[in-house]
Structure 1
Amino acid sequence: MPAWRLLGELPQASIREEMRAQFIGEWNPWATHWFPLSELPIVMSDPRNPALRCHVKTYETSISMGRRRFAAVLLDGIWRIYVPAVTGESGAFEASKPLFEGFWRTADTTSQGRVGNPDWPVPDSGWTGREVFLASLDHVEQTAKRIAYRGYSSCRICGCRNGDMEYQFMEWVWPSGFRHYVDEHHVRPSVEFQNFISQWAR
C-alpha cells in the first residue's frame, strides 16, 4: 500500500486576497494549476471520523524544484493536502485503493469496466438473496456520499436511462443504477460487495 502524510491544512478561502496569503511552508497551493492525475483516488481514514473512509483525488503541480504530486480534499471548509511519504516516516499512513461494483464497459467498446468488475452484467435468476440485498442496499445508500455524473448512464442490458450519479461509502463505489440491474435483471453482486452491504445495513 502507498504511504502518504498530511502536508498541511488551509481554511477554504472566499476571495483572491485570502488565497494569495495562504501557504504551507513556502508553497502556495493556489498559485499554480492543479493537473488531475489519471490514477485512482487514494482511500484513507476520514479525519473527521476515523471509523469511516474518504476518497481523495490526486494531482500534480509545478513548484520551484520541479513537479509535486499531492492529494487534496475539502472537508467541512478545510482543505487537507497530502503528499507521498516513506513508510515509517513521522505522520505517514497507508492509503488503499477504492473498490468498485457495477461498472461495466459500454456497448460500443471492448474496454474493461472499472478494476475488479466483469465486462458485462450477467443475470442470475437462481439467486435467492435478491430481496434482502436490495433492502440492505437501500439502507446503505441513505448514508452514502452521492457524486453526480455529467449525464445519464444507459442500462447495458435493456438500454433504459439508468442513473446519473454514483455512491461512495467506505472503500466502495457503485453507480446509482446498480439497483436496477439487481432488481430488474437479477444481476448478482459480487460476494465481497454483498458482504459489505450486509455488514453496514445492520
Structure 2
Amino acid sequence: MPELGEPVDRPVRLLDFWVTPENQTLPNPADLVDPGWEESERYWVADYLNHGLVAGSWMGASRCRLCSCSNGSRDLTDGYYLWPEGLGHYVLDHDVRLPAEFLDHIE
C-alpha cells in the first residue's frame, strides 16, 4: 500500500457505488445480500472499510439504499480501491457481500 501522500501510478478501482436514477448501470445492493456470509468475516471487512483514508468529501450525506439511514458524505480509499464511507454499514447491517477480488485484496 502506498504511503499517505505518495503518488499512485495505477488507476484506483471503484468499489460498490450504487445504482441511481441517473445511472442504472451500477449495482443494486439488494441484489448482493448474502445472509449466509460469516459474521466474523463481515466484521473484519467492515473494520477495514471503516479505516480507509479520506479521499474526498461531499456536501450532504448519502442515504442507505436499503434502510434510509444517513451513511456519510466521504469517499475512502486504501490506494487501490475507492468506496463510499457507508460501505461498512452495508456489510455489517445488511449482509451485502463484496466482490471476491476485493476480499482477496484485503486478505
Fold match by TM threshold 0.5? yes
Q: 2:15 aligns with which of 101, 104, 107?
A: 101
User: What letter is aligned with 1:145?
Assistant: L
Question: Max radius of gyration: which structure?
Answer: 1
Shift of 1:109: 3.7
* Contact 1:53–1:169 (Cα < 8 Å) also in 2: no
Counterpart of 1:126 in 2: which secondary structure? Answer: coil
Q: Retained in 1: the 8 A contact 2:49–2:87?
A: no
> 1:132: how far off?
2.5
- Counterpart residue number, 2:2: 52
Q: Which residue of 181, 188, 192 corresponds with 2:90?
A: 181
| Shift >6 Å, 4+ stretches | none
Secondary structure, in 3 states, of the residue corresponding to 2:47?
helix
* Kept after mapping to 2: 8 A contact 1:137/1:197: no
Unmatched tracts of structure 1, length 5 or more: 1-50, 55-74, 81-94, 114-118
Residue aligning to 2:35? 125
For 2:45 and 2:18, the matched residues in 1 are separated by 22
Task: Summarize the alignment of residues 147-162 of structure 1 with structure 2, pairs less than 5 Å apart.
Answer: 147-162=56-71
The structure that is strand-richer by fraction is 1
Conserved 8 A contact 2:19-2:28:
yes
- Deviation track 1:86-126 (CA, whole Å, cap 9, x = no partner) reads xxxxxxxxx422112121112x345323xxxxx20121111
Contact 1:140/1:197, CA 8 A, preserved across alignment: no
Q: Distance in 1 between matches of 2:87 and 2:34?
A: 15
Unaligned runs of 5+ in 2: none
Q: How many residues align structurally?
A: 103
Alignment RMSD: 2.6
TM-score normalised over the length of structure 1: 0.44
Percent identity of equivalent pairs = 27
For 1:138, the equivalent position in structure 2 comes to 47
**Alpha-carbon distance, 1:167 to partner:** 0.8
Equivalent residues of 1:166, 1:174 under 8 A apart: yes
Distance 1:189 1:137 in 2: 10
Q: Supply the AA of the counterpart residue of 1:52.
A: P
Q: CA deviation at 1:157?
A: 1.3
Using the alignment, how far apart are the partners of 1:186 and 1:99 within structure 2? 22
